[in-house]
Chains A and B, each alone.
Chain A
């Protein structure tokens, strides 16, 4: 009797194990292509159909890993996460990585499409000659709000002072963006190294903190779309995508000026598929591809020859192409060097403030 039971037990065990093995074999059976391009990037940052097309044309597979801040990406790469072939850091971070000799010099012979890139953007870029980076997308920081729930919306950073919206607003969980908003509100540069200006901006952000629900980099999208949050601080393309799902979402560029960031395509040192990475960069700057990608992501790929191919609604959208006046008051994030520590301290104090 006892041994019969033991048999039952063994049968069950064998059953479970073969089940697990079956799943394993089934899953690992999904064929592996010979070449794999490892891309470390923001979530949903390439139109899937274009990725599929590139995979077909080059008989390869692209594997995406996602990060939610430049700093996380940098920390991971710095901590020894090698093996990536392509990264999309924001320009200031690309500059920092370059200064640390973490990036490969780009081979211009492999990038014929670089001639389409908007010279106006290159002019204000950190890496004007595209030695180590090619601009991928221009991201404008904006404020979004729900039309039916927020009365008398003013396109200004001062919206975060509104206590009637207390607990239903979010700001970005990003030191540079949120302190930057405070600096812009006061009319200072977002790259200031003046401790007094920084101190004043810190005070503003702490005041705003009383009214916001959360510092949030990602969930503000579903949050505003589902009515969880009524006003959010976020990125133009993300919010334009959300707007397609919920037309009640509106967006505005604050009149005091805003933060412009450009995400670059860079190849890290130690990449295994250098040629393939170049090919992908070049592919993304084919004007037709760039236009299609822009129309999908609703960020702006700075590619002059792609502009005429964009849908009308996008070409006239002030959140994509900023109005000249606001554009003049807006700035790109630059690396701070030693002043970085001041910002970290201010941000810590903001987080700890009551």
Chain B
């Protein structure tokens, strides 16, 4: 039977749509012109400038610190949540638990930002890296839990009972059965949490304080205060890192299957 060509055409058009801005961005990062309106020759000057901007590197460091620590904590909380949701799927408590974990995934970021800001103000906690960390753990936890849960749903929970029945201690069960089964989910969830944390602007913007400028906040002010070529260069570097990360995670998931 002859198939319609439309799905193919739309897919290609959308891929072009997705990549066009990114390609322009990369090309412009090598443009000697300060404005994006014309090509004035190949240049690495913006990369050079980028490395002379200590503020950007300080922001990058803040982002990495927050992303690493938020990922670590949300992995722990999110994974226990996923295990609970999976093992006790039929209990009423888990119904509530599921709703609670699911909500932060879809609630608009601005709401989470403003409500957290209000809590921090009410408690009188000093806004800064720590408050950003608390906020990031909150939304990362949900994403980790859902990712790990999706992996768990692919495997048979009776494996654990079987291991226990065969006399394996909890330590052995966790180490030999649960962790290997969960590992791909943990990697996927961790990577997702890390990316989301590194990428978050809106929530961070609300709960940031002195000296806690993160990379997206810096990028936002660069967009506003107008250093476009620097953003192009920074974006290109981030894109390269992203591609590398995606390639690595592909490797990891391929070695799994």
Contact = CB atoms under 8 A, between A and B. Distances in A.
Interface string A209-240: 00000000111011101110000000000000
A67 B31 CA distance: 30
B167 interface: no
A334 B221 CA distance: 28
B157 interface: no
Interface string A310-323: 00000000000000
Contact of A83 (B68, B117, B126, B225): B126
Contact of A80 (B64, B127, B183): B127
A47 B61 CA distance: 24
B204 to A, nearest CB: 13
Contacts of B256: 5, 9
Contacts of B35: 222, 225-227
A80 B124 contact: yes
A81 B124 CA distance: 10
B210 A80 contact: no
B221 A219 contact: no
B248 interface: yes
Interface stretch (A16-24, A164-172, A194-202, A335-343): A16-24
Interface residues of A, number: 42
B64 A81 contact: no
A27 B64 contact: yes
Contacts of B36: 226
B71 to A, nearest CB: 9
Contact of B64 (A10, A23, A63, A227): A23
Interface string A83-114: 11000000000000000000000000000000
Interface stretch (A38-46, A258-266, A293-301): A38-46
Given A24-B64, A24-B65, A43-B225, A65 B251 contact: no
A82 interface: yes
B224 interface: yes
Interface string B205-240: 000011111000000010111101000000000000
B121 interface: yes
B205 to A, nearest CB: 10
Contacts of A63: 58, 210-211
Contacts of B184: 9
Contact of B211 (A20, A23, A24, A38): A38
B128 interface: yes
A245 interface: yes
Interface in A38-73: 38, 40, 43-44, 63-66, 68
A286 to B, nearest CB: 24
- Of the candidates B35, B36, B248, B251, the one having the most CB atoms from chain A within 10 angstroms of its own CB is B35
A43 B221 contact: yes
B34 A6 contact: no
B124 A24 contact: no
Contacts of A9: 183-184, 187, 252, 255-256
B124 A12 contact: no
A28 interface: yes
Interface in B170-191: 180, 183-184, 187
Given A5-B256, A27-B61, A83 B209 contact: yes
A79 B121 CA distance: 5
Contacts of A245: 34
Nearest 9 A/B pairs, CB to CB: A222-B226, A226-B35, A83-B210, A218-B224, A81-B209, A27-B61, A43-B225, A8-B255, A81-B127
Given A63-B210, A81-B128, A219-B223, 12 more contacts: A13-B183, A13-B252, A30-B57, A38-B210, A38-B211, A65-B211, A79-B127, A80-B120, A81-B126, A83-B211, A222-B35, A227-B37
24 contacts: A9-B184, A9-B252, A12-B252, A13-B252, A20-B64, A27-B61, A27-B64, A28-B61, A28-B65, A30-B61, A63-B210, A63-B211, A65-B213, A68-B221, A76-B127, A79-B117, A79-B120, A81-B128, A84-B210, A219-B223, A219-B226, A223-B226, A225-B35, A226-B35
